[in-house]
Amino acid sequence: MEVILAKTAGFCFGVERAVNTVYQEAEKQKPVYTYGPIIHNEEVVRDLESKGVQVIHSEEELQNLSEGTVVIRSHGVEKRVYDIIQERGLTLVDATCPFVLKIHTIVQEESERGSRIVIIGNNEHPEVEGIKGWCKTTPFVVETKEDADAIEVSPEERLVIVSQTTFNNKKFQELVEIISKKGYDSSAYNTICNATEARQKETAELAANADAMIVIGGKNSSNTQKLYDISKTECANTYYIQTLVDLDLTAFESVSRVGITAGASTPKNIIKEVHDGMSELSFEELLQEEEKNSIQIAVGKQVEGEILSVRPDEIIVNINYKSEGVIPRNEYTNQPNADLTTMVNVGDKITAKVIKTNDGEGQVLLSYKRVAMDLENDKLEAACENGDVLTGKVVQVMDGGLTVLYGESRVFIPASLVSDTYEKNLEKYLDQDIEFVITECNPRKRRIIGNRKMLLVAQKKEAQKALFEKIEVGMTMEGTVKNVTDFGAFIDLGGADGLLHISEMSWGRVEHPKKAFKVGDTVKVFIKDIQGSKIALSMKFPDQNPWMNAAEKYAVGTVVEGRVARMTDFGAFIELEPGVDALLHVSQIAREHIEKPSSVLTVGQEITAKVVDFKEEDKKISLSMKALLPAEDDSSQEEPAEEAVSKDDAEMTPEESVAEEVTADTAEEVPEE
């Protein structure tokens, strides 16, 4: 006959912790009491009584104590029991299971917010009694579908659902679904102990492949009863016993495969008795085999395991050790408020690193994130050595630079290494994926420095080389305005910048580059000159030179219209078209004497005049408004015309006489480069 003992049979860590606590307290001199039986196992309770440990069954008994130590059992108790112990001046030792304590915290906080608590479990079970004592609002206790159907609250109320730690997981899900379909604002916490889930799952699998099943546990043990129910569903030939005395061994004479499991409150010595009666293999040998197969853990060691259960904020892992491993959310991912149920599944294999061999609740604290970081650190060190280009997401912007997330590792890029130009505002990089190289890597000191500037400089160098290989003087190109100064604009040609001087921006006069261009504009230019790495650009395209057909348009005698562009004491310069200016001498504005042009003209004023002189080779045009005035009657003249002309000529200073010959382009002020 093959006898198979469930790996999870016997004390869970919470029960073992509670029992060991009472035995330790019993060795002390003062009286020791447990509030209710420490576990639902008569054998253990009797053994503790023989060592002087007394069981208190009510608050009245507790009120009568004047000294001693009171141990709270793993099932937990109402809050008022704590208050009584404190009021009586008794020593409190809390052995409540950590999973139960977590439920107490949930129901207390949620009910303080006004939520109604729904406890899925047995209303008579001491654990449920304890949970109810932490609720600030009247709770519902649900054990059956009828209980779930009977729940009625106002639409404004919010329901928060928790579970007795030893409840059947499948049944819990069914009852939650019934309540959820009622349409209330509700949320559920699956607070079934991970050890209970594992035990129930293993029992179902073992029973499905056995000819007979033995379930060992106290008659009042809720979790053992549930194991029996699960086993009975899979294997009709299931026996519920407390000790070997309850078992009829003759019933197994024709059975070839027997499975044995036990509740969380069943001591190993009782399991040993049953197993010894069913198998030639001694219990000691089983334990030795179990210890041989179990891992040896230590802080910093990597372990492999299988995921037993997943909650939004933690993962429980079977690591083949005497207690399970737990991975909190912040040790799985750097994503805040991530829901772990969407990231891993029950049954997945996982590798993690041991942080603590006991997290204070009897479990092994693990980190998946640190295993990933170790792998990434190896990659980062190799990338640093090889100069590999990496890509990461900017997750934080600081005064000193950027924090980039590469996998689960954080890389710091100083502000001076973010770009090859000064970056006044780094906020534009937030949530962006950027490329960088690692220039310094010391994961142990959490110092990993990235450099983006190096890549940009190298990329621009390559682009510059490619640009200079293809450009030549006279070539027309499109570029983007990168910067505008007082003397010109720098144009990005896609690999190098060229200077478009203010004097080359137009055939006409440009007051200031910033009035003509803004950063980001796309412009069409031609290359005027190349000197080493310097490129001179121009927008004065030869085929657009306004002097090409000026001789026809501005022949002597032609009447033209223009705009007053600027004035001096000796005359005004008139813009006939962009790039073509003519001089209107002060003596040619009117017949009467005018001291200055500004006394009769304004900049921007449109005027009509006649071309009186055109010198194409010198690009000089002279205008006269006086020539368009109607001829005057000779009899009305106070002086002969010749005398008037002589007077005008006599009034011209030598400087004005010279200035009359000055043209628009010789008088135009050209800023120094």
Instruction: Name the residues annotated as catalytic.
Output: 127
- Cα distances from 315 to residues 323, 327, 330, in angstroms, run 14, 5, 11
Beta strands in 154-248 (DSSP E): 158-163, 185-188, 212-216, 238-241
> Which residues have CB under 8 Å from 318's CB, separation 6+?
198, 305, 306, 307, 308, 324, 325
Q: Is the dihedral of CA 600, 603, 609, 610 positive or negative?
A: positive
Task: Write b or e for each residue in 135-147: b if 16 or more Cβ atoms lie within 10 A of its Cβ, otherwise e.
Answer: bbeebbbbbeeeb
DSSP assignment, residue 115?
Answer: P
Distance set, CA 117 to CA 106, 112, 124, 177, 311 (Å):
10, 11, 17, 16, 19
Q: Which two tokens stand for residue 496?
A: 């190098």
Phi, psi of 619 (to 5 degrees): 55, 50
Q: Which residue has the tokens 């109604």?
A: 116
Asked if residue 351 lies in contact with residue 375, where contact means CB atoms within 8 angstroms, the answer is no
How many angstroms separate the CA atoms of 180 and 174, rounded? 10
> What gap in Å lies between CA 457 and CA 437, rounded to an integer?
12
- Measured between its terminal Cα atoms, the distance across the chain in Å is 103
Residue 364 forms beta bridges with which residues? 325
Following CA atoms 250, 253, 256, 259 in sequence, which dihedral angle do they give, to the nearest 10 degrees?
10
Place of tokens 């304890």: 130
> 407 — alpha (psi -120 to 50), left (phi > 0) or beta?
left
120 Cβ neighbours under 8 A, 6+ residues apart: 142, 143, 161, 162, 163, 164, 167, 172, 175, 176
Q: What residues contact residue 493 under an 8 Å CB cut-off, 6+ apart?
A: 467, 471, 477, 479, 535
Q: Are 244 and 274 in contact (CB under 8 A)?
A: yes
Distance of alpha carbon 544 from alpha carbon 535, whole angstroms: 22
Identify the CA nearest to 189 among candidates 133, 125, 124, 131.
131
Indicate the burial class of 283 (C-beta count within 10 angstroms; 0-12, 13-18, 19 or more).
middle
Length of the chain in terms of residues written: 673
Where do we find the tokens 């799952």? 201
